[in-house]
Chain A
């Protein structure tokens, strides 16, 4: 029973290139969340998606960043024209959805570390 799978684990891009980060949620989970962790900072919420729908993208920068979770395949976080400030660890988490009772516990992937040269 594989957990949340993220790839690539490490990605190096030059300024102006595009970065694509993939996340396959845990089996049976239909909700995906993306978080960014900058050096020496905590986890910052970026976007929350369900299959084919963006539910909450209030944490996403307005430009250059986009996310999708298609009917088939992994969720993808796309960063266009990367800049040095985009260097960070990007974590994906999944959950089965809002539970009827109890906390909505997230299962995290190991993260994708993006380095922009």
Chain B
């Protein structure tokens, strides 16, 4: 099925560990985004990539890095996880006509 695929769906990390969240889209979209969702705060933009080879910071980039590996894939890396990064992470891609398509999310807990 066409869409945005995120892996893993669930993850528990210890403080200080690192991990990479993977995102892939098969809709040939140029723009891709990483958001985090926290209760009462809606979704906040972490990083985005307007096109292959470019990345830019969003509202809450501290503690994260991203890689736009190719047009399909946009990964989010936590180099040294902190409890404040416990959240649900969503990847999205953008089609100019149809709008944004979101993945099903990654629920991350940092203990």
A complexed with B: no
**A interface residues with partner B (beta carbon < 8 Å):** none
